[in-house]
Amino acid sequence: MNSDYPLVPYEPPSWASRLTFIPKHRIQFANRNTPIQRWHLPGIPEDFQVLLKRDDMTGSVLSGNKIRKLEFLLADAVEKGCEVIMTCGGVRSNHCRATAIASCQMGLDCHLFLWSRTQDLQGQFTGNTLLDRMVGSNFYLVPHECSFQTEILPRMTQLQEHIKDTTGKKSYVVPLGGSNSVGVWGYIDCFQELVSQGLLEKVTDVVVASGSSGTVTGLAIGNFLTGNNLKIHGMAVLGDAAYFHFEADQILQDLGLQATDGSSGVKAADIMDIVEGAKGIGYGLSTPEELECIQEIAMTTGILTDPCYTGKAAFHTMRLMREDPGRFKGKEILFIHTGGWFDLFSGVMSSAVDGKTSAENKVTDWMELTDKVPVVQ
């Protein structure tokens, strides 16, 4: 363990003190109070105003939403005396990259189980996988149809036992996307940041890309405990509303906000609006329209969004504003940019940039310049 990353005592916001599980420590990784700016998304109805919270600026290589969760999860691992971290995600996973880098910085070993459609990356390490490899994480490619519960978890357990027997080291499993009653504190705590940034008075709705559910659940809990001033929307880039409600209800139970049989207390469905359909043709897959939208947002606003999460979420937020504006509580929208930049280097965007997009970003042979620009002799 590296003493440069000490456990720091954690004080929850006063409104969260009634929760029955409160982490005692965290490890400070994230840059807090991430900037808020106006975001002039192209082609949305004029009466909507969008503010952007730059959680893509929580760090550089650790950037995005996952690092807020890992502050609590990795503190929990250290408190439990674990020196090996294991987690699972898609091969392009931002969560796995953040886990690998944070673990490396702390001097912990990291093992990543990565769902992949190909079992051979043929040395093609791009985007997040390049960074995973650079920090020396152990890397297992898992066929993308494998189930976490019945296939991957038993293998992880086997590996943990093997590591324990051969090195004496104890392992800690970080759940998918870091979403459980520990990781969710990253966004319960972030809700306090929204309060302190004065956003409760400025916005009516919060929109965030949602995958493993922890981010939207943390925000929804914060909103619920502080009086339900906002409407919290999760743009589901995988799964359906039932899946998100199931995962979130589990966390509500673990925090004492819902009876363990679900018979009383707060229900996830009452405190969050899950927008189905934001996954488009499937998790991690993009339509030409989505990629062109990412490209258009980049060209008109200079803000880069990723194809797997934030770009899809922005695409569907813009669609909702045009087609179903009543879905929002009001017209002042806070979009949380949850990061994901490195996926722009996975190759997925190339077709949109190289292909049939507007002439504005065409690459011109520089020799052609002489025909267009007068050459001074």
Ligand X SMILES: *Cc1c(COP(=O)(O)O)cnc(C)c1O
Q: Which of 59, 175, 214, 311 binds ligand X (CB under 6 A)?
A: 214
Alpha-carbon distances of 331 from 48, 166, 297, 320, 367, rounded to whole Å: 5, 58, 20, 12, 49
Q: Does 213 bind ligand X (CB under 6 A)?
A: yes
Residue 290 to residue 76: CA distance in whole angstroms: 38
C-alpha closest to that of 93 among 69, 66, 111: 66
Tokens for 31, please give them. Answer: 């840059």
Q: Is 351 a catalytic residue?
A: no
| Helical segments of 277-368, H only | 288-301, 310-323, 350-354
Q: Which stretch binds ligand X (CB under 6 A): 2-10, 144-152, 189-197, 205-213?
A: 205-213
Alpha-carbon torsion 73, 75, 80, 82, what sign?
positive
The Cα–Cα gap between 41 and 298 comes to: 10
Contact between 51 and 202 (Cβ < 8 Å): yes
In sequence order, what are the residues at sequence separation of 6 or more whose Cβ sits closer than 8 angstroms to the Cβ of residue 96?
87, 88, 89, 112, 114, 128, 132, 137
Residue 340 found at the interface with ligand X (CB under 6 A): yes
Q: Within a 13 Å sphere around the CA of 126, how many CA atoms are in the beta-carbon half?
A: 11
Among 211, 222, 284, 311, binds ligand X (CB under 6 A): 211
Single out the residue of 58, 87, 180, 212 in contact with ligand X (rule: CB under 6 A). Answer: 212
Of 137 and 215, the one with the shorter C-beta distance to ligand X is: 215
* Of residues 70-129, those binding ligand X (CB under 6 A): 94-95
Residue from 3, 14, 17, 93 carrying the catalytic annotation: 93
**Residue 371: Cβ within 10 Å count:** 7
Instruction: For residue 305, state whether it binds ligand X (rule: CB under 6 A).
Output: no
- Residue 58 C-beta: closest distance to ligand X, Å: 11
- What string of DSSP letters covers 186-227? HHHHHHHHHHHTTHHHH-SEEEEEESSSHHHHHHHHHHHHTT
Q: Does 258 bind ligand X (CB under 6 A)?
A: no
Nearest CB to ligand X, comparing residues 152 and 236: 236
In the list 309, 315, 328, 342, the residue contacting ligand X (rule: CB under 6 A) is 309
Contact pick of 137, 180, 210, 301 for ligand X (by CB under 6 A): 210
Tell me: does residue 239 bind ligand X (CB under 6 A): no
Smallest separation, CB 369 to ligand X (Å):
38
Comparison of 284 and 339: residue with beta carbon closer to ligand X:
339
Tell me the window of 20-28, 58-66, 148-156, 157-165 that interacts with ligand X (CB under 6 A). 58-66
- Active-site positions read 93
Give the binding site for ligand X (CB under 6 A).
64-66, 94-95, 177, 179, 209-216, 306, 309-310, 338-340
